[in-house]
């Protein structure tokens, strides 16, 4: 959806979210959502699996914009795959919520869902250390646990995990893995079109990037997934005074 105007916020100050309590995640999410509402956005994408799993149901009716949580948006698609057993790698918070399992089984009770937490994988991606001995041991340990459960497909249930595909592909064939991001983006586009909120202008939309700490480090890290040229530090205290 290149025509849409997009505001991106990365909470670099408080990452990784997978280790935080629900109370902390609620606080962080409310700050971000209040800022988005002050900017008059029509929709907010919860690209973070952890917040989708833990705080979406609590906050979903508190704002004027449409809220798209990644897990709840893609579990119906996963539930309709032609497989009997599906595996999920995610952060401990996401796994403990059983959001993928509950969402899939709400649509397809016959599909078996097995879940494995991968607490170190986010840090491995952020630090760019996927080929280190420690990372290889962590990836191998996770894959060994997963493959003992014999899934037919494996969901990479954290936005960071697809950046480990080249390494994970050394353990099982890459087509076994599912990156929910593409299905998520397609779901959002279809829903915006259905509600007549899709921006189909013929010029590329504006892009703004904000983070809660170390914007220069974010720009460097972001090159893994997008050509971010600039990012601003977002001070929520200042935003609250202005709003």
Over the stretch 177-197, which tens digit does the pLDDT of each residue have?
999 998 899 999 999 999 998
User: Is the model more confident about 237 or about 189?
Assistant: 189
% residues pLDDT > 90 (the chain): 83
Same domain, 169 and 105: yes
| Catalytic residue list contains 158 | yes
Same domain, 159 and 237: no
Instruction: With cut-offs at 50, 70 and 90, classify the pLDDT of residue 146.
Output: very high
Q: Residues near 59 by Cβ (< 8 Å), separated by ≥ 6?
A: 26, 29, 30, 33, 67
Same domain, 84 and 158: yes
| 74-79 average pLDDT score | 93
pLDDT at 193: 93
- Asked which of 164, 179, 194 is the last residue of a domain, the reply is 179
Same domain, 84 and 169: yes
Q: From the candidates 45, 158, 178, 192, give the one annotated as an active-site residue.
A: 158
pLDDT at 243: 41
Residue 36, domain member (yes or no): yes
- Is the confidence at residue 125, as pLDDT, over 80? yes
Residue 1, domain member (yes or no): no
Confidence (pTM): 0.84
Same domain, 107 and 165: yes
Distance separating alpha carbons of residues 192 and 235, to the nearest angstrom: 30
| Catalytic residue list contains 6 | no
| Nearest CA-CA partner of 32 in 20, 46, 18, 21 | 46
- Asked which of 179, 195, 211 is the last residue of a domain, the reply is 179
- The CA-atom distances, in angstroms, between 152 and each of 83, 86, 88 are 6, 6, 11
Same domain, 100 and 170: yes
Q: From the candidates 15, 48, 86, 88, give the one annotated as an active-site residue.
A: 48
Q: How many domains does the chain have?
A: 2
Residue 82 φ then ψ, to 5°? -85, 60
Structural domain containing residue 37: 6-71+183-242
Same domain, 170 and 221: no
Give the position of tokens 């909120």. 197
| 31-44 average pLDDT score | 96
**CATH label of the domain that carries residue 231:** 3.40.50.1860
**Long-range CB pairs of 142-145, under 8 A, 24+ apart, other chains included:** 142/89, 142/116, 142/118, 143/168, 143/171, 143/172, 145/116
For CA atoms 41, 43, 47, 52, the dihedral sign is positive
pLDDT at 241: 41
% residues pLDDT > 70 (the chain): 97
- Asked which of 125, 151, 179 is the last residue of a domain, the reply is 179
Instruction: With cut-offs at 50, 70 and 90, classify the pLDDT of residue 221.
Output: confident
pLDDT at 242: 44
pLDDT at 12: 93
């Amino acid at each position: 959806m290149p025509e849409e105007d997009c505001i991106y916020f990365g909470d670099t100050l408080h990452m990784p979210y997978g280790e935080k309590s629900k109370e902390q995640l609620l606080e962080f999410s409310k700050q971000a959502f209040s800022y988005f509402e002050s900017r008059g956005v029509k929709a907010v994408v919860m690209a973070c699996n952890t917040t989708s799993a833990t705080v979406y149901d609590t906050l979903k009716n508190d704002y004027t914009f449409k809220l798209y949580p990644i897990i709840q948006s893609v579990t119906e698609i996963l539930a309709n795959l032609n497989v009997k057993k599906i595996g999920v790698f995610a952060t401990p918070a996401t796994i403990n919520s059983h959001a993928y399992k509950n969402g899939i089984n709400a649509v397809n009770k016959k599909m078996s869902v097995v879940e494995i937490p991968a607490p170190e994988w986010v840090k491995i991606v952020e630090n760019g250390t996927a080929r280190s001995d420690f990372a290889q041991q962590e990836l191998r340990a996770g894959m060994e646990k997963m493959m003992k459960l014999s899934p037919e497909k494996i969901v990479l249930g954290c936005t960071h995990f697809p950046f480990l595909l080249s390494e994970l592909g050394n353990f099982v064939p890459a087509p076994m893995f599912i990156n929910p991001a593409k299905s998520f983006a397609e779901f959002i586009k279809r829903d915006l079109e259905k509600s007549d909120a899709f921006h189909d202008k013929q010029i590329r939309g504006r892009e703004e990037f904000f983070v809660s700490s170390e914007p220069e480090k974010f720009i460097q890290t972001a090159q893994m997934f997008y050509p971010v040229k600039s990012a601003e530090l977002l001070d929520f205290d200042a935003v609250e005074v202005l709003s």
